[in-house]
Amino acid sequence: MNRVLQKVHQSEAGMMETTYREAVRAAIDEEMQRDDRVILLGEEVAQYNGAYKVSQGLFEKYGDTRVIDTPITEEGFTGIGIGAALGGLRPVVEWMTFNFSLQALDQVYNNAAKMRYMSGGQLSVPVVLRGPNGPAEYLGSQHSQALQSIYAHCPGLKVVAPSTPADAKGLLKTAIRDDNPVVVLEAELMYAWKGDVPAGEHLVPFGKAATIRQGEGVTLVSYSKPMAVVKKAVEALLAEGIDAEVIDLRSIRPLDRETLFTSVKKNQSLRSGG
Amino acid sequence: MNMDKTDYDITSIRKDTATSLLRKMLLIRRFEERSAQMYGLRKIGGFCHLYIGQEASGVGATTALNLAADYVYTAYRDHGIALACGMEPDRLMAELYGKREGCSKGKGGSMHFFDVSRHFMGGNGIVGAHIPLAAGHALALRNRGEDGIVACFFGDGAIHQGSFHESLNMAAIWHLPVLYMCENNQYGMGTDFRRVSAVDDFSVMGTSYGIKGRQVDGMDVLAVYTAVSAEVNRIRKEGSPGFMEIKTYRYKGHSMSDPARYRTKEEVEAYRRQDPILLLKVQMIQNGMLDDAAYEKMDTEVKNICRAAVEYAESGTEPEPQELYQDVYA
């Protein structure tokens, strides 16, 4: 095992400070170790150790039948991941960025999301589609898109957007074990963020928002990277004497309506951003 | 053209194999005639793409497979290949009717027949989009150490999609056990394939990916069966992908709403004269495997099966509206 993986595995109990990148890697690594049906495929994921180094060490550990470098063919390798799921594997497809996932959108909408329904429930498609979504820095229009609304709109998909390293690990592990296609939205600028992550088994359920701050008067709702902005807003509001309640959706589809409705009923005002 | 009608020796074909091929083709023909009739009576809605004329392609190719281990993917003109894979005519007709007893609970319709127990993976409606699925499924079989191969049919309209080229490349670099078969019925909807292709011989389309293509006469079921059997055996042995062009012809329009005015009556008549059912019937009679009485008996049997399928579909139940919300998630 190489050094990068060891670092994540050092502490088996309790919390450890981990970057978002390491948390995503740990989730994939642990699930690959737990279930040999889990594979990882995408551009540069194997020998190059990932365009953003998320998959560092996994090729060395699991070999080329489970960590697979693909040609630059988003439609093709996404479809192959979906087909491999139909054939009994649990593939994790990495899109180098969500901007490129538009090339694969037909596979996601028409195959991953619909095969179960069209077959009258005979098929399941346990595939995870993940990568960095949203703008990074100085990249221009084609590399700066946040495309979650496109994915969250589609019946048959589940869509999650972790804002912390702990949720990144817990939601991704849940995604890999889910029997449905799950879109996991990460972000390039979040990969270096640090946070406490439970070592070992840590699963975060879908459809459960986190009320990360109780408050009165206004409810702030967001998810993923904009949660950092929300936290700053809370400070600014406090300085003005406003005690905001903050909800991190974590999962966009399914959406935790109960938590949202309860909070809005209490505070009578909601501001959202994402 | 690499087509060779003398690729096989009919005396090496067993009588029961030939009889089975003939019966499957006849079943498809009669089933499709019934489908057209019921569509005309507005019992069937939506799109309906008939397989009449192409029977030798799907029947010859699927008979060369071992469906206990192998898997089949096809496009939206799926009735014939579903029947060739052994799916029940009753449940297929019920699916055309949109009934709950259909093979996809009435949620698929004409273009989305599925039967996982028979390894029939659809019935896929977006041209070319199922081609990567077949490669992925083959990757799963390889990783899981299973023996089967994946057979993937698509039409001449799909061959220019990027998904075809991307999939052949990846199937080749990863040595996936998948057989791609282009059923070239010569018209992508109303467009003659020669008008939209840089090459007329599709069998060369695999060569950029190191895959040696073969072309076979898709009006001759024994030629298809023999050629596909050889290619399937090679794939099982070598574990690398294959690609074949099956030259075929559809007698009807692209779908029920297409009067097919883009081609001449003479052209259609020329193909009808080499009709796959007629051709095999004559070959079998000449070789002492069949007589007229046996053929008539077989035809009556399959007609009865198709009549019973219509009765089954008629007596089926309409799904409730709330079933729209079921089978969306596992």
**Gap from B136 CA to chain A (nearest CA, Å):** 4
The amino acid present at B6, given as its one-letter code, is T
- Please identify which residue in the block is written with the tokens 């005690």: A243
Q: Closest residue of B to A66, CA-based? A: B143
DSSP state of A110: I
User: What is residue A17's predicted lDDT score, i.e. its pLDDT?
Assistant: 95
- For domain B15-312, the CATH architecture is 3-Layer(aba) Sandwich (3.40)
User: What is residue B157's predicted lDDT score, i.e. its pLDDT?
Assistant: 97
Q: What token pair was written down for A272?
A: 């959202």
**Gap from A81 CA to chain B (nearest CA, Å):** 6
- What helix, strand, coil percent values describe chain A, rounded to 5? 40, 20, 40
Could you tell me if the ipTM is greater than 0.90? Answer: yes
Q: Is the peptide bond before A181 cis (omega within 30 degrees of 0)?
A: no
Question: Does A180 contact B329 at a Cβ distance shorter than 8 Å?
Answer: yes
User: Is the separation of the CB atoms in A236 and A274 below 8 Å?
Assistant: no
Distance of CA B102 to the CA centre of its chain: 19
CATH 3.40.50.970 residue ranges of chain A are: 3-198
**Gap from B115 CA to chain A (nearest CA, Å):** 8
With 0-12 / 13-18 / 19 or more C-beta atoms within 10 angstroms meaning exposed / middle / buried, residue A9 is middle
Query: Closest Cα partner for B71 from B124, B143, B121?
Result: B121
Calpha distance A146→A186 (Å, rounded) = 10
pLDDT, tens digit (0-9, with 9 covering 90-100), for B67-122: 999 999 999 999 999 999 999 999 999 999 999 999 999 999 999 999 999 999 99
DSSP state of A54: T
Query: Closest Cα partner for B208 from B237, B250, B166, B156?
Result: B166
**Gap from B68 CA to chain A (nearest CA, Å):** 14
Average pLDDT, chain A: 94
DSSP state of A104: G
With 0-12 / 13-18 / 19 or more C-beta atoms within 10 angstroms meaning exposed / middle / buried, residue A121 is middle
CATH 3.40.50.920 residue ranges of chain A are: 210-272
User: What is residue B3's predicted lDDT score, i.e. its pLDDT?
Assistant: 53
User: Is the separation of the CB atoms in A237 and A244 below 8 Å?
Assistant: yes
B134 to chain A: which residues are within 8 Å by CB? Answer: 83
Calpha distance A261→B329 (Å, rounded) = 24
User: What is residue B6's predicted lDDT score, i.e. its pLDDT?
Assistant: 52
Largest interatomic CA distance in chain A = 58
Distance of CA A157 to the CA centre of its chain: 13
Q: What token pair was written down for B104?
A: 């996809």
Task: Locate the domains of chain B by residue range.
Answer: 15-312
Residue A3 predicted with pLDDT over 60: no
For residues A90-114, give the mean pLDDT: 98
User: What is residue A167's predicted lDDT score, i.e. its pLDDT?
Assistant: 98
Percent of chain A with pLDDT over 90: 91
User: What is residue A71's predicted lDDT score, i.e. its pLDDT?
Assistant: 98
Calpha distance A160→A148 (Å, rounded) = 9
pLDDT, tens digit (0-9, with 9 covering 90-100), for B147-167: 999 999 999 999 999 999 999
User: Is the separation of the CB atoms in B252 and B53 below 8 Å?
Assistant: yes
For residues A233-258, give the mean pLDDT: 97
For residues B192-209, give the mean pLDDT: 96
A82 to chain B: which residues are within 8 Å by CB? Answer: 132-133, 136
DSSP annotation string for A132-197: E-S--SS--GGG----HHHHHTSTT-EEE---SHHHHHHHHHHHHH-SS-EEEEE-GGGTT-EEEE
Residue A6 predicted with pLDDT over 70: no
User: What is residue B260's predicted lDDT score, i.e. its pLDDT?
Assistant: 92
For residues A87-115, give the mean pLDDT: 98
Residue B144 predicted with pLDDT over 90: yes
Q: Closest residue of A to B139, CA-based? A: A84
Calpha distance B235→B65 (Å, rounded) = 11
Distance of CA B286 to the CA centre of its chain: 27
Q: Closest residue of B to A106, CA-based? A: B129
Q: Which of A103, A118, A154, A178 to mutate to test the interface with B (most CBs of B within 10 A)?
A: A118
Average pLDDT, chain B: 96
pLDDT, tens digit (0-9, with 9 covering 90-100), for A125-153: 999 999 999 999 999 999 999 999 999 99
Q: Quick count: other Cβ atoms within 10 Å of Cβ B88? A: 16
What are the helix and strand counts (H, E) for chain B?
A: 10, 8
A88 to chain B: which residues are within 8 Å by CB? Answer: 140, 144
Residue B2 predicted with pLDDT over 50: no
Calpha distance A120→A107 (Å, rounded) = 19
Query: For residue A69, what are the β-bridge partners?
Result: A42
- Please identify which residue in the block is written with the tokens 């049997």: B301
φ and ψ at residue B73, rounded to 5 degrees:
-120, 140
Question: Does B143 contact A89 at a Cβ distance shorter than 8 Å?
Answer: yes
Task: Give catalytic residues of A, as residue numbers.
Answer: 74, 143
Calpha distance B151→B174 (Å, rounded) = 17
pLDDT, tens digit (0-9, with 9 covering 90-100), for B7-57: 799 999 999 999 999 999 999 999 999 999 999 999 999 999 999 999 999
Calpha distance B157→A56 (Å, rounded) = 41
CATH of domain A210-272: 3.40.50.920
pLDDT band of B171, cuts 50, 70, 90: very high
Look up the CATH superfamily of A3-198. Answer: Thiamin diphosphate (ThDP)-binding fold, Pyr/PP domains (3.40.50.970)
User: What is residue B76's predicted lDDT score, i.e. its pLDDT?
Assistant: 97
Q: How many beta-carbon pairs under 8 angstroms link A with B?
A: 154
Question: Does B140 contact A87 at a Cβ distance shorter than 8 Å?
Answer: yes
A77 to chain B: which residues are within 8 Å by CB? Answer: 132, 166, 170
pLDDT band of B5, cuts 50, 70, 90: low
Whether pTM exceeds 0.90: yes
**Helix (H/G/I), strand (E/B), else coil: B244:** strand
What lies within 8 Å, CB to CB, of A223 at 6+ separation is: A161, A163, A248, A249, A250, A252, A274
**Helix (H/G/I), strand (E/B), else coil: B135:** helix
DSSP annotation string for B166-187: HHHHHHHHTT--EEEEEEE-SE
User: Is the separation of the CB atoms in B8 and B226 below 8 Å?
Assistant: yes
- Please identify which residue in the block is written with the tokens 């936290």: A231
Q: What token pair was written down for B71?
A: 């898997």
**Helix (H/G/I), strand (E/B), else coil: A242:** coil
Q: Closest residue of B to A75, CA-based? A: B163
Residue of B256 and B302 predicted with greater confidence:
B302
